[in-house]
């Protein structure tokens, strides 16, 4: 088969969706011819990049517009549908990974007209619950555009059962048309590093720390995170935040106002070969999100032997079994986030059980091979 994967962003721009598409493309190219059609963003990225004999990346020029309430990721316009269709018109499968580009509707229509089988992966739920303004925008967009996408789509993927349920309830998609394909982890890369921690060496870290990794946006529960760190300071516990985003300055202001000398921000791009060292070196991983469709950084932490304390919301409830492989905490309950973090740090037996059971969870359920199997089988139906 010849397969086209389409998403506005692709490495070197990196995020959970981009990592999903990249790994999926590379694995599918072992059996099929694969092209990725994406945006030329950052602007200095290559327009055409041959990854291997079966995988080629095509990056189309776009314009980055400044819309902070939607960023990150950046807001891009000007995607050339005509050129994109020329690239994909001889494909057997066209698979979209983003519903937020209205111009993609034209692509779906063109594919439907000539008999190409089309799929969409929903990486976010239909209902967000981030802020009133954003939620209103999302619902309006879904009413205007996403519901039209569904008419020209052969099949659907959801990155969690939670997302699948929102597709059924909000869009009335038949359950048998939705395949759940979880995000995964490359266990050859993401594993416990006991010696020569390159992250600690690179950033001159000679102390124990708890860790947060993610985009610095409201959805990630950053107010809860900073209030948790405030309590942890009283216990002498240090914290490291890895990420960039529109809420960074608010977090810095809070740190200065509360004199949180225990908190350090690393707001530069941390390459993957250092990221699993960061997880490995952490005493605990904290993820106080308001919602998560899945929670890739959670399984990355677990794969690296880092015990987790996460919000009891969305796809995270499908990863963490409370008290068995980590702790689930009510959304915004910063006092309990702090309490459970301290409990992990103070109880070696509990911590070791979470480490052992967390790794087993990832190995048994969230290896990328399971994702590839679900996708490949759906293509063949």
Of 45-59, 63-77, 327-341, the range with the lowest mean pLDDT is: 63-77
**Same domain, yes or no, for 352 and 372?**
no
The reply to whether 193 falls in a domain is no
pLDDT score at 74: 66
> What are the pLDDT digits (tens) for 174-223?
999 999 999 999 999 999 998 899 999 999 999 999 999 998 988 999 99
Nearest to 15 by CA among 264, 372, 300: 300
The reply to whether 243 falls in a domain is yes
**Same domain, yes or no, for 371 and 355?**
no
**Same domain, yes or no, for 162 and 239?**
no
The reply to whether 234 falls in a domain is yes
The reply to whether 192 falls in a domain is no
Residue 368 above 70 pLDDT? yes
**Same domain, yes or no, for 271 and 357?**
yes
The reply to whether 189 falls in a domain is no
Residue tagged 């945006």 (tokens)? 39
pLDDT score at 132: 72
pLDDT, mean over the chain: 93
Residue 130 has φ and ψ, to the nearest 5°, of: -100, -60
**Same domain, yes or no, for 165 and 220?**
no
> What are the pLDDT digits (tens) for 312-360?
999 999 999 999 999 999 999 999 999 999 999 999 999 999 999 999 9
Cα–Cα distance measured from residue 307 to residue 79, given in angstroms and rounded to the nearest whole number: 42
DSSP string across 15-35: SHHHHHHHHHHHHHTTTSEEE
Q: Provide, for the chain, the percentages of residues in helix, strand and coil under a 3-state DSSP scheme, each rounded to the nearest 5.
A: 45, 20, 35
**Same domain, yes or no, for 307 and 173?**
no
**Same domain, yes or no, for 338 and 374?**
no
Q: Give the confidence band of 67 by pLDDT, cuts at 50, 70, 90.
A: low
**Same domain, yes or no, for 264 and 297?**
yes
pLDDT score at 18: 92
**Same domain, yes or no, for 26 and 175?**
yes
The CATH number for 167's domain is 3.40.50.2000
The reply to whether 304 falls in a domain is yes
Please list the alpha-helical segments (H only) found in 248-333: 248-258, 272-281, 296-303
**Same domain, yes or no, for 311 and 372?**
no
CB atoms under 10 Å from CB of 223, counted, come to 17
pLDDT score at 16: 86
The reply to whether 190 falls in a domain is no
**Same domain, yes or no, for 127 and 258?**
no
Q: Give the confidence band of 157 by pLDDT, cuts at 50, 70, 90.
A: very high
Q: Domains in the chain: how many in total?
A: 2
The reply to whether 191 falls in a domain is no
> What are the pLDDT digits (tens) for 262-305?
999 998 889 989 999 999 999 999 999 999 999 999 999 999 99
pLDDT score at 130: 62
pLDDT score at 69: 52
Cα–Cα distance measured from residue 361 to residue 78, given in angstroms and rounded to the nearest whole number: 42
DSSP at 43: T
Range 159-166 average pLDDT: 96
> What are the pLDDT digits (tens) for 308-324?
999 999 999 999 999 99
> What are the pLDDT digits (tens) for 228-250?
999 999 999 999 999 988 899 99
pLDDT score at 41: 87
pTM for the whole thing? 0.93
| Structural domain harbouring 27 | 2-184+367-380
**Same domain, yes or no, for 179 and 210?**
no
Instruction: Tell me the three state secondary structure of residue 245.
Output: coil
């Amino acid at each position: 088969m010849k397969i086209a994967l389409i998403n506005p962003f692709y490495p070197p721009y990196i995020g959970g969706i981009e990592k999903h598409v990249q790994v999926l493309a590379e694995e599918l190219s072992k059996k099929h011819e694969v092209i990725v059609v994406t945006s030329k963003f950052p602007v200095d990225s290559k327009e055409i990049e041959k990854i291997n004999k079966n995988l080629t990346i095509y990056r189309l020029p776009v314009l980055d517009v400044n819309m902070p309430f939607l960023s990150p990721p950046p807001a891009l316009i000007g995607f050339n549908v005509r050129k994109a269709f020329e690239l994909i018109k001889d494909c057997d499968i066209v698979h979209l990974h983003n519903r937020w580009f209205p111009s993609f509707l034209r692509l779906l229509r063109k594919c439907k007209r000539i008999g190409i089988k089309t799929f969409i992966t929903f990486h976010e739920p239909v209902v967000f619950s981030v802020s009133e303004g954003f939620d209103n925008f999302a619902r309006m967009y879904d009413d205007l555009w996403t519901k039209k996408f569904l008419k020209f789509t052969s099949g659907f993927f959801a990155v969690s059962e939670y997302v699948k349920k929102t597709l059924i309830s909000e869009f009335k998609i038949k359950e048998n048309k939705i395949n759940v394909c979880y995000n995964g982890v490359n266990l050859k890369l993401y594993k416990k590093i006991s010696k020569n921690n390159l992250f600690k060496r690179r950033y001159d870290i000679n102390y124990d720390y708890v860790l947060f990794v993610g985009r610095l946006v409201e959805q990630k529960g950053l107010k809860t995170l900073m209030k948790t760190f405030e309590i942890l300071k009283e216990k002498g516990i240090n914290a490291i935040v890895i990420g960039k985003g529109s809420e960074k300055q608010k977090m810095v202001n809070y740190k200065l106002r509360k004199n949180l000398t225990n908190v350090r921000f690393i707001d530069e791009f941390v390459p993957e070969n250092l990221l699993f060292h960061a997880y490995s070196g952490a005493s605990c991983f904290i993820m106080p999100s308001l919602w998560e469709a899945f929670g890739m950084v959670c399984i990355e932490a677990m794969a690296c032997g880092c015990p987790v304390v996460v919000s009891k919301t969305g796809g995270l409830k499908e990863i963490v079994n409370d008290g068995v492989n980590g702790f689930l905490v009510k959304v915004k309950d910063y006092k309990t986030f702090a309490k459970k973090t301290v409990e992990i740090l103070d109880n070696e037996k509990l911590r070791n059980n979470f480490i052992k059971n967390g790794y087993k969870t990832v190995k048994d359920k969230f290896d990328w091979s399971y994702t590839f199997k679900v996708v490949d089988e759906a293509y063949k139906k």
